[in-house]
């Protein structure tokens, strides 16, 4: 569902949607479709996606992507 909402926002408002560190951290932490949201944001607005230490740490903490 999150991916659909982000797609709608980007389709309707495009460059007016701020892609902040907080947005990326929330996407990374989305257990249901975080990977899809990040892929969508990188594909559509890659140059606007901040990859900060905080974002990388949030991604590393996402336990749903850990292979055991």
What does each of the 68 residues of the chain score in pLDDT, given as a tens digit? 789 999 999 999 988 999 999 999 999 988 888 899 999 999 999 999 999 999 999 988 877 665 55
Domain of residue 48, residue span: 2-65
Q: Alpha-carbon Rg of the chain, whole angstroms? A: 12
Number of structural domains in the chain: 1
pTM here?
0.84
């Amino acid at each position: 569902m999150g991916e659909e909402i982000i797609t709608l926002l980007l389709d309707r408002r495009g460059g007016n949607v701020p892609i902040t560190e907080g947005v990326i951290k929330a996407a990374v932490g989305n257990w249901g479709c975080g990977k899809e949201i990040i892929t969508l944001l990188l594909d559509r607005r890659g140059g606007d996606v901040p990859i900060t230490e905080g974002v990388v740490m949030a991604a590393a903490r996402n336990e749903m992507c850990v292979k055991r």
